[in-house]
Chains A and B, each alone.
Chain A
Amino acid sequence: MDIFLQQIINGLVQGSVYALVALGYTMVYGILGLINFAHGEVVMIGAMLALSSLTALLGWGVTPLLALPISIALAMLGCMVLGYGIERIAYRPLRHAPRLAPLITAIGVSIVLQNLAMMIWGRQYHSFPQLIANTPHNIGGAIINNIQIIIFILALAIMAGLMFVVNRTRLGRAMRAVSENQHAAQLMGVDINRVISITFMLGSGLAAIAGVMVSANYGLAHYYMGFILGLKAFTAAVLGGIGNLRGAMLGGLLLGLIESLGAGYIGGLTGGFFGSNYQDVFAFFVLIAVLVFRPSGLLGERLAERA
C-alpha cells in the first residue's frame, strides 16, 4: 500500500512540474492558437538565469532566504524580456502567414536559444543549490519533501491566479476578446499587440518560475533540459484541452500519474511483457484513447466545425 501511495505522490509531483510548464504553454496557445515550441527553452533559460544570479548573490554573501526570491525575480524579468523579444521577432510578423509558418520559426527559436545557452553556460550539467531544507515527510510509509509540496501548491496557486486574471480583469477580458476574434477585438478598441505581448511576457515569467522549481527539485540545470519538458508540457496541455487553464493543470497531473503508475505497474499488468521501458508508449496510448473519444481534450471546448 505504501508503494502505491508513493507512486501516487511521485505522479502528482511530476505532474505538477508538467502542469507548471503547461500553464504557460496553454496561455499562449489560448490567445494565438500557436504551439510555442520554444516555451521549453524559455523554461531552461529561466533556470539558468536563476542559477547564475543565485551563484552570484550567494558569492556576495547574501543570505539564502533573500537570494532565492531575488534570483527568481531576476529570472522572471529576464524571461519576460526574452518572451517579448521572441514574440516581436519570430511570431508577430507571421501573424497573418499560413499557420505552419510560426511553427517553423518556433523551432528555429528553440534551436537558437539552446545553442546560445550552450555558449553562455557551457556544456556541462550544473548542480542547482539546495536552499530549502529538504526535510522528508512520511505519510503512511510514503515520502514527500518540502520542495515537492511547494511545487504542488505553487502549480495550483498559479492556475488560480491566471484564472482570476483571465476571467475577472480588464486585461483578461481583452485576452479573451483577442483569442475569440482579433479583428473584432481591434474594432472594439483592444490594442491587440499590447495584449499579445503581455500574454507572452506572462507566459514567459511563469516559465521562469517553472524552470527554477524543476531545477530546485532535481538539483540540476542543463542547457538541454527544456526540450523534453516542453514536449511533456505540450502533451499535458493537449490532454487537458489546449488553451484551457484548468485543462493544463488536469492534463499535467494526469500525465504525471499515468507515467508513474505506468512505470510502476505496467509490468505486472502485462505479465512482464511490457516494462517501464514502455512508460511513454503507455502515456501516448492513453492520450490517443482520450482524443479518440474527446477530440479536443478532456476540458477543451468542442471545436465549432467551420462551415
Chain B
Amino acid sequence: MSRHSHRSLMFGAIVPVLLSMTLYGCEKSATTSQDSSGDLVVRIGASAPLTGPQAHLGKDNENGTRMAIDDANAKGMMIGGRKAHFELISEDDQADPKTATIVAQKLVDDKVNGVIGHLNSGTTIPAAKIYSDNGIPQISPSATAVTYTAQGFKTAFRVMANDAQQGHVLGEYAAKNLGAKRIAVIDDRTAYGQGLADQFIKSAEANGAKIVAHEYTNDKAMDFTAVLTAVKSKKPDLLFYGGMDAQGGPMAKQVKALALKLKFMTGDGGYTPEFIKLAGTAAEGAYASLPGVPLDKMPGGKAFADRFVAKYGPIQLYAPYCYDAVNVMIAAMQKAGSADPAKYLPALADITYDGVTAKIQFDEKGDLKGGAITMYQVQHGKWQPLETLGMAKAAN
C-alpha cells in the first residue's frame, strides 16, 4: 500500500470519530428534568460572544448569569413546592447572527427553561424568533435595538433600556443640563452605536442644540485623529460618542492630545473601568449614562457588586443586568409555581421585581417600563453618579 492510501486511511477515521464524539457530547442533554435526588432541574441558557473582539463583555455577562444561578442554588429555592436546582448552559455566539441562531436552536434542544441573552442586538434579533417559535422566554441583558422587542414576540424581554429611551435622555441632558449648543457626534457603525447616536441626535436637536458634525469610525479602530481633527474644525462644545469603551477610551485620550476643548459624552457602552483605564487622565470629566439606578442606591446592589468583584474581578458592564435577568426569571417561576415556560411566561410578563439595577417591570412589548437612567461622570479616576433621570419616556 502506497503512502498515499495510508493517508486516506487515516483521514477516513476522522469523520466517524467526530460523529461519535458529538454523540458523546450530546449525552448530557438526554437527562430528564429531575436529578437523582428528585429535585426539579431548571436549565437556564445563556449566550454571548465569548471569543472575538467583544469576548471581555461576553464573559462578564456569563459571570453575572453564573453568579445569580450559584446564589439561587445556595439559597435552595422552591418552585411549586419542590426544591429547584439550577443549571447554566452557556454558549458562545461569536457575535455572529448565524451562529446565534445555531446556539438558540441548541439551547432549545437542550430543553432550557429560559434564556439570558444575547449580548448584541444583531444576534438577539434573529435568535428571538427561534425562542419564540419554541415558546422559551428570553431576557436580553444588553440588546438595545428597538427592533428586538418590536418583532411582536411574546417571549422577548429585556432588562436594559432601548436606544430610544437612552438616546432620549442623553440628548436632553447634553442640550439642557450641560447647555451644549454645538454638538459633534461620532458613531461606530454598529447596530448599538448607530442606533444610540441617531436617537441622541433626534433628542438633542429637539432640545435646541445644533449638530455641527457627524463623523464615523468602526468598532475595531484605534486611531481617531483624522475624524477628531475634522470635528475640531467645526468647533463644537460637546462630543457624543456612540460605541463601546474599547474605542471610547482611546478616543477620549486622543481628544485631549489634539487639544480639543469640549465635553466628552458617551452611552452605557462607555461606562466601564476599561474606559478610564484606556483613556488615562483624559477620562477626567467624561460623561456616560447607564440605565437603572446606581448599584449603591439599590437594596442589595452594593453587596452584589462587592461579591462579584471578589469572585470575578471588576464588573465590565452588563453583569448586574444578567444577574437581574436570571433573578426576574426565577421570581416569575416561583410566582407561577412552575418552571414550565408556557406556565411562567404570563407571570414574567406582569412581574414586579426589585433588582440590583432597578425596579423591573415590563411593558406590553417586553421593554423595561419607565426605566430610570443615571448620568455618571469620571471624577478622580472613578465613575461617579450625577443624577438619575427618573421615568424616561420612550421617544416614540
Contacts and interface: CB of A to CB of B under 8 A. Distances in A.
Interface string A1-32: 00100110011011001000000000000000
Interface string B277-314: 11010000000000000000000000000000000000
B250 A276 contact: no
Contacts of B246: 125, 220, 222
Nearest to A130: B280
A214 B257 CA distance: 16
A275 B51 contact: no
A263 B226 contact: yes
The secondary structure that dominates the A interface is helix
B258 interface: yes
B55 A134 contact: no
A123 B55 contact: yes
B51 to A, nearest CB: 7
A124 B316 contact: yes
A11 B214 contact: no
A259 B227 CA distance: 10
B56 A124 contact: yes
B226 A11 contact: yes
Interface residues of B, number: 37
B19 to A, nearest CB: 23
Interface string B246-262: 10011001000111000
Contacts of B225: 6, 10, 13-14, 260
B117 to A, nearest CB: 17
A143 B280 CA distance: 19
Given A14-B223, A259-B226, A123 B56 contact: yes
A55 interface: no
Contacts of B220: 224, 227-228
B233 interface: yes
A261 B280 CA distance: 28
Interface string B83-123: 00000000000000000000000000000000000000000
A270 to B, nearest CB: 14
Contacts of A136: 257, 259
Contact of B226 (A10, A115, A219, A227): A10
B178 interface: no
Interface in B17-56: 51-53, 55-56
B59 interface: yes
B116 to A, nearest CB: 19
Interface string A276-301: 11011000000000000000000000
Contacts of A11: 226
A267 B221 CA distance: 20
Contacts of A115: 51
A220 B230 contact: no
Nearest to B59: A123
Identify which of A124, A145, A225 gathers the most chain B CB atoms within 10 Å of its CB: A124
A1 B301 CA distance: 52
Interface string A111-148: 00001001000111101001000101000000101000
Contacts of A6: 225, 229, 232, 258
Given A11-B226, A115-B51, A145 B274 contact: no
Given A125-B277, A219-B278, A118 B226 contact: no
Identify which of B51, B225, B278 gathers the most chain A CB atoms within 10 Å of its CB: B225
Contacts of A276: 215-217, 226-227, 230
Given A143-B257, A220-B250, A275-B215, A118 B229 contact: no
Contacts of A164: none
Contact of B222 (A134, A225, A267): A225
A134 B59 CA distance: 34
A220 B222 contact: yes
A145 B51 contact: no
A277 B190 CA distance: 11
A200 to B, nearest CB: 26
B216 A143 contact: no
B347 to A, nearest CB: 36
Interface in B191-245: 214-218, 220-223, 225-227, 229-230, 232-233, 245
B189 interface: yes
Contact of A220 (B56, B215, B217, B249): B249
A225 B246 CA distance: 11
Contact of A7 (B58, B226, B257): B226
A84 B37 CA distance: 56
Interface in A208-230: 214, 218-220, 222, 224-225, 227-228
B192 to A, nearest CB: 15
A124 B275 CA distance: 11
A264 interface: yes
A40 B214 CA distance: 31
Contacts of B278: 125, 127, 219-220
25 contacts: A3-B232, A3-B233, A6-B225, A6-B229, A7-B226, A7-B230, A14-B223, A123-B56, A123-B59, A124-B56, A124-B316, A125-B246, A127-B280, A136-B259, A214-B222, A218-B222, A219-B280, A222-B53, A228-B220, A259-B226, A260-B226, A262-B226, A267-B230, A276-B215, A276-B230
Question: What 6 A-B pairs come out closest when comparing CB atoms?
Answer: A277-B216, A260-B226, A263-B226, A123-B56, A10-B225, A123-B55
